[in-house]
Structure 1
Amino acid sequence: MDNNNDQEILEHHNFIGAETIINKNENGKNDKNSLNTKIEIDHISSESTQGVDLSWKDLSYEITNSKTKKRQKIIENMYGVIEAGEVLGVLGPSGSGKSTLLDVLAGRKDKKLVSGEICLNGKPGQPKHLSTYVMQEHVMNGVLTVRESIQFAADLCFPKSYSAADRRARVQQIITEFGLDRVAESKIGTNFVRGISGGEKRRASIATQILTHPKIIFLDEPTTGLDSAASYNVIKVIVEMAQKYNLTVIASLHQPSTKTFELLDKICLIARGRTVYFGDREPANDFFERAGYPVPSYFNPADHFLYVINSDFNTDKRKGEDYVMKLSNEFKNSRESAEIQEKITTLIHKHQGKEDIVLKVMSKKKSRYERNFFQQFIILLNRCYKNNIRNILLFWIRMSFSISLSLLMVSYWWKLGDKLEQDSVLRRMTAHFYSITLLTSLSVAAVPVFLEERLLFERERSNHFYSAGPYALSHTIMSLPFVLIITLTFTSISYPLVALNNDIYSIINFIILLFLAALASESTVIFISAIIPDFVIAISIASFAHAFWMMSSGYVVTPSTLPLLLSWAYRINYQRYTYEAILVNDFVGLKFGCQELPLAVDDMPLYSCLYGDKSGLSSQFSGADVLQELQYDETKIWLWTVR
């Protein structure tokens, strides 16, 4: 590189795999802002390859059994150590405490229920701000491509000091490292959109979460649901990343194949919340041979270990517990256990008196989000737009339902507005009622999408991608145009063909009122999806809520006949306010003809009027008479809109 001709110098730093560009001005002097960035990064560049050694001892997690009310230890007196650059595989039968151990080490459990000591580089501390936690389910936005998913993560996780070019370069780097180049422009995939394979999804999910090379990575069963080849490739990539960037990796695994097992540096075998073995992978064979359980020839050691330590199928519960206790004590008294205890002590002395710049800088860095509120909002708004426009279930299916339901309404009430007889009043009220209930019911179809979004939000927020505020605001704002489009589509078909009040003021009011009702329904469904994680239960409650509001809106059951216990529902019902306001909007100014009777008084015809003057002398009544009969004459559209 020619320093005299080039306008910029590219300085490579290992810290979180980023590149810092140092610009020069016309005089060849370093730009002040860029120089400050260089100094800040150089301050830690000497320590950037230093990893974090993680150790723990006497670690227990105890809860109160909800049935017996007795204290129950999920994991008990566990100890271990893993150095930077190593990969630890946590193995054990289902329910043995693998995920609990990861949660406790990652700081995801209530500290009041945890006892023992966790050390980072020999010093007591929590790895929460230095780590990322990859959950068992690979939750991703299925309508985005692999590159888009990782790019959004990069935009959120990297500070604003990194240019867009730097972030794109980092995204391409990790795509290549995880072997995702071939599918980089392919969509992740949904139930309606064909996507990438399970192994590729898993790698893409992990890539988005370790983009910034956190010093410690926790993976909860990253190979679940994958075949042996895909599982091997996933763990192989993780091992290579750990070695390349000096990362500390702890992964719980379920029945790894021989090849996958051989990739691990250390293993931790757990049974009934107790450590049965912890240490390097290869010496485990010697330990089990001394314990009387040698690994058979040509047999997968991992399968053999899991078979030996699994006491779940012992019909005698007490014998099963005694068996696990025996194995645990045997390990506790073994030379492998002594080596681990010595290693923990050695690490404390190794780092004693040293200033740990990595822990200091990264702890400070991770104590807040990399992007401010507004930046998070803009990035999430962009992602939300792409999700809404591409997601079939969230928008396009609801749009097609909106068109279908509006045509159905037209078939029932074709040119209803042209018939101003008194028998059309009830039909007119019915048409308005179903306009509200049919349009608001469309939100229930989006429950599956909202539940997926909930899981994605929980994962990304726990890994410090963004806070709740920008996420909620971006989704709220981005939902407005899509709900409005659905409302306009429904109204543009049904309103003119049913031939309701064609006054421009009435049309605009009708659209606004239906739009607000649809938003209220959308908010209700989002709220239910936020508190109910199960799909079947959430969609059942959402459907019940919609039916409940519909029944207490004042059309199916009049307010005067509502049970006292349900009168509160009428007062807070958004469908009630919409229904009343729409009736006022439509009926004011209209005149309806009464039914002429086959009788006459002094040659004067008599009429039967359902509303207004019922003396028999009046041949018509007004829309205001209908509203007065319904006790809606005091309704103010603007006030009901605000409510």
Structure 2
Amino acid sequence: MVIDCNRANDTTVHFPCLITDHRPLPVHLAFRGISVGAGGRKILHDIDGLVRPGQILAVMGPSGCGKTTLLNCLSGRLKLDSGQIFCNRDPLCKRWKRKICYVLQQDIFFPDLTLRQTLEYTARLRLPDTMSHTQKMQYVDHIIDVLELQHCQDTIIGDYLKRGLSGGEKKRANIACELLTNPSLMLLDEPTSGLDSHAAYSLMQTLKKYAVNEGKTVVITLHQPSSQIFHLCDKLLLLCNGQTAYSGDVCKVVDFFGSIGIHIMPHYNPADFILEQVKSSAEVRQKIIHAAREQRKSSDYPPELRCHNCAYMSDKFNDHSNKLLPNGTFPAIEQEALNSMEPDVRRLWLDTHSHASSSASSETSESDCHFSWPTSFWTQLTVLSQRNFQEARPRMLSKLNWVQTIGLGIMAGLLWFQLERREECLHDIQGWMFFSTTYWMLFAHFGALSSFPPEREVINKERRSGSYRLSAYYIAKMLGELPLTITLPAIYHFISYPMLGFHSPLVFLTLLAFLLLNTVVAQSVGFFIGACCMDMQASITVSALYTLATQLFGGYLATNIPVWLTWMRYLSMVHYAYQNMQIIEFSEGLPILCAQQSKFSICNESDHIPVTAILEAQGAHLPLWANTLVLIMFLVIFRTLGYLVLRYFKNPK
């Protein structure tokens, strides 16, 4: 491995430690005839484009013209109706999709992690295991220096509730996470939106240096750039109603509009000028689109996009099945077109290291594009467990939750303080058990429900980039959050139960075990419902119905359940935990003395009430081991169902 870590003070974007033994192959991106529709409406129609290493391609156009849709197509996240996308001479496939850096317009992060923590976890997950921890941290330090984030590296990301990074800092943080992998191709969706003019220009300057000095290929969507930002770009793809209004060099766009009789006024921002034209009357728009079509026939049109044997052209292409050309390779370019290319471009085009084979017998398919994870399962599990713990701790163990738990423990202990072991107090003892199990069931269930939707956005973003396996994340979430999930119920139990009446350490610990088991099971159900329901309101409604039914059939609020509804109690997780707590408390603890006028017939023969009589008064019951087994089954089934939903039904494309 080549290590060069002596350029930390260099003002240019240069990676200090190479990931592999050589730099990634520069990416020559070409796309032709891209057409996409949705709901019977054509979003993109016959779009061509080309961008070479060291260049920035700006995709511009009015709102709704298809800029983000085009980026989704180029990243492989959206299926094409027709057209082709090539990286060098390879058709876009799974291997290439995982190597493309796609910076979304939304800044999606865990709000409670600091900027540095976010970058460090990203580096540990996405940089290969062949690199040491020290080398990965050197990457993080260098990226922080390059994007000028030193002053805010220890600030939390924040959200609308917690103050953290500013808008510009979040944009840079978003880009920094992607730069860590040293990608050859970057797609950025409106990275300057929401920034002031200085911050936007500074960010674009950094991207320009990155593209030029590192030989990277950058595609960026811009909404309404300043003239300074506009001239930092090399290529321009102007869209109008989903069609090409101009494709070519930025420096030639004014001449293009002048050639069709649309002249720019002196000292006018060219970006504003061209956007005004594509938003003007239908006659002007049609004139521009027609001129763009005629532009394809000119000798200045890139030779890679005007080869004569490309059957995809819109006037000849009628098959919308998105088929590749024979052998799945880039169509042959005539020698004359090759000779007209710049020397550097021609060398890249004919690079023998390209994955596309010149042999007619070779075929490139999705299965040929093998993707390997950057890190091992164990590395992913370890890093994600640490991150989940660190991210969830401020939320699950917040000061308010601590105050609530301690206050509730004291209140419950005072309410049921030192209850006597008599039949008159039996209902109160059962009340403490039922309240404890139901409260912590609801706390864990709705806690998981409220935290999962925002977390899912981050997970989907990272899964699309190929950062880690879903199985590693899912197991890590269980392991990382387990100590946090059981902490508050344990504190509550340590406060309230001794005030109720401490009889035996064994009973104390066993009751705690079943309280915690019920809490973890409730959290599992919350994860499952949160994974199934995309809408938060729907998930709350479903959860409310289930948890209320669980309480009603738990065995405390209603004992005389109609025969045709008795099956519902077997779906109640509280029922099993509540039954177990009674079995332990009333069989291992001090006996419950009978009242003078007892409702239990067994008191005619004995002075105390056995646990079997207490349970029979509530209806059918199962032994301790059976209740425990059912709770474990609940845990395993709902955790498994949650994974299957994420894996097969909510899998990000």
Structure 1 counterpart of 2:386, one-letter code: N
- Name the structure 1 match of 2:618: 630
Q: Distance in 2 between matches of 1:569 and 1:219?
A: 52
Q: 1:132 to 1:150 in 2, by over 3 A?
A: same
2:134 corresponding residue in structure 1: 165
Conserved in 2, the CA contact under 8 Å of 1:577 and 1:640? Answer: yes
Cα deviation 1:308-337 (Å, max 9, x = unaligned): 3237xx9xxxxx6x8755532232123797
Question: Partners in 2 of 1:559 and 1:278 — Cα distance?
Answer: 76
CA distance in 1, matches of 2:229, 2:448: 40
Find 1:57's aligned residue among 32, 54, 64: 32
- The answer as to whether partners of 1:587 and 1:624 remain within 8 angstroms in 2 is no
- The 10-residue stretch of structure 1 (323-332 or 426-435) with the greater mean CA deviation from structure 2: 323-332
Query: What letter matches 1:431 in structure 2?
Result: W
Instruction: Give 1:211's match in structure 2, choosing from 170, 173, 180.
Output: 180
Match of 2:528 in 1: 527
The Cα shift of 1:78 comes to 0.7
Cα shift at 1:442: 1.7
The one-letter amino acid of 1:331's match is A
What letter is aligned with 1:51?
Answer: P
Match in the other structure for 1:581: 580
CA distance in 1, matches of 2:500, 2:455: 38
Equivalent residue, structure 2, for 1:121: 88
Partner in structure 1 of residue 471 of structure 2? 469
Q: Structure 2 vs 1, CA of residues 401 and 301 (structure 1 numbering), >3 Å: closer, same or farther?
A: farther
Distance 2:537 2:198 in 1: 34
Cα deviation, residue 586, structure 1: 2.1
Structure 1's 631 and 536: CA in aligned 2 closer, same or farther, altered over 3 A?
closer
**Per-residue deviation at 1:194?**
3.6
SS in 1 for 2:232: coil
Deviation at 1:81, TM superposition (A): 0.6
SS at match of 1:340: coil
1:441 has 2:410 as partner:
no
**Contact 2:14 2:213 (C-alpha < 8 Å) held by counterparts:** no
Is 1:109 the counterpart of 2:111? The answer is: no
TM-superposed CA distance for 1:515, in Å, is 0.6
Partner of 2:316: none
Structure 1 letter corresponding to 2:226:
S
Shift of 1:364: 9.7
The residue type equivalent to 2:289 in the other structure is S
CA contact (8 A) 2:396 2:485 kept: no
Tell me the distance in 2 between the aligned counterparts of 1:612 and 1:488: 37
Residue 341 of structure 2: aligned partner: none
Deviations 1:243-288 (CA, angstroms, capped at 9, x unpaired):
1211111122232233322322222222332222222223222333
CA contact (8 A) 1:51 1:246 kept: yes
Identity fraction in percent: 26
In structure 2, what is the Cα distance between the partners aligned to 1:622 and 1:165? 64
- Aligned equivalents of 1:569, 1:231: Cα separation in 2: 59
Select which of 273, 287, 296 maps to 1:304: 273
Partner residue, 1:507: 508
Any conservation in 1 of the 2:583–2:624 contact (CA below 8 Å)?
Answer: yes
Cα gap change, 1:527 to 1:306, in 2 (>3 Å): farther
From the two aligned structures, give the one with the greater strand fraction. 1
- Map of 1:489 onto structure 2: 491
Which structure 2 residues correspond to residues 185-584 of structure 1 after superposition, within 5 A?
185-190=154-159, 193-310=162-279, 324-334=285-295, 339-345=300-306, 348=333, 349=338, 350=346, 353-356=350-353, 367-389=371-393, 391-393=394-396, 396-415=399-418, 417-418=419-420, 420-422=422-424, 424-443=425-444, 444-499=446-501, 502-558=503-559, 560-561=561-562, 564=565, 569-584=568-583
In structure 1, the residue matched to 2:627 is 640
3-state SS of 1:270 partner: strand
Q: Choose the corresponding residue for 1:17, options 15, 23, 28.
A: 15
Displacement of 1:487: 1.9
State the alpha-carbon separation in 1 of the partners of residues 537 and 44 from structure 2. Answer: 33
Amino acid at match of 1:367: F
Structure 2 residue identity aligned to 1:459: K
Compute the displacement of 1:381 (Å). Answer: 1.9
TM-score by length of 1: 0.81
Query: Structure 1, residues 445-474: CA drift from partner, whole Å, max 9, x if none?
Result: 354433332122111121121111111111
Query: How big is the shift at 1:190?
Result: 4.4
**Displacement after TM superposition at 1:344 (Å):** 2.7
* Alignment pair present for 1:92 and 2:81: no
Q: Which amino acid aligns with 1:641?
A: T
Partner deviation per Cα, 1:472-494 (whole Å, 9 max, x = no partner): 11111122212221221010111
For 2:517, what is the secondary structure of its paired residue? helix
Which consecutive unaligned segments of at least 5 residues does structure 1 have? 1-7, 21-36, 66-70, 315-319, 597-606
CA–CA distance in structure 2, aligned partners of residues 570 and 628 of structure 1:
15
Please state whether the residue corresponding to 2:423 is helix, strand or coil.
coil
Deviation at 1:631, TM superposition (A): 2.7
Q: Which whole-Å CA distance do the structure 2 matches of 1:517 and 1:525 have between them?
A: 12
* 8 A Cα contact 1:17 1:212, kept in partner: no
Whole-angstrom CA distance in 1 between matches of 2:368 and 2:128: 13
- Report the Cα distance in structure 2 between the residues aligned to 1:583 and 1:338, rounded to whole angstroms: 87
State the Cα deviation string for residues 83-123 of structure 1 (Å, max 9, x = none): 1111112222332211111111111123xx43111122244
Q: Please, which runs of 5 or more residues in structure 2 have no aligned partner?
A: 8-12, 308-331, 339-345, 358-366, 631-653
Instruction: Give the Å deviation of 1:541.
Output: 4.3
Distance between the aligned counterparts of 1:540 and 1:245, measured in 2? 52
Structure 2 contact 103–175 (Cα < 8 Å) conserved: yes
Task: Kindly indicate whether the alpha-carbon contact (under 8 Å) linking 1:50 and 1:358 is maintained by their aligned counterparts in 2.
Answer: no
In the superposition, relative to structure 1, how do residues 592 and 332 fare at CA in structure 2: closer, same or farther (>3 Å)?
Answer: same
- Partner amino acid, structure 2, of 1:638: W
User: What SS class does the counterpart of residue 75 from structure 1 fall into?
Assistant: strand
> By how many angstroms is 1:217 displaced?
0.9
Q: 1:488 to 1:129 in 2, by over 3 A?
A: closer
Q: Residue 378 and residue 366 in structure 1: after superposition, are their counterparts in 2 closer, same or farther (change >3 A)?
A: farther
C-alpha separation in 1, matches of 2:514 and 2:433: 11
Distance 1:338 1:516 in 2: 73
TM-score by length of 2: 0.79
Note the C-alpha offset of 1:157. Answer: 1.9
The alpha carbon displacement at 1:393 in A equals 4.8
Cα deviation for residue 511 of structure 1 reads: 0.8
Relative distance call for 1:435 and 1:560 in structure 2 (3 A) is same
Provide the C-alpha distance between the structure 1 equivalents of 2:495 and 2:380, rounded to a whole number of angstroms: 38
The secondary structure found in structure 2 opposite 1:217 is strand
- Residue type at the aligned position of 2:301: I
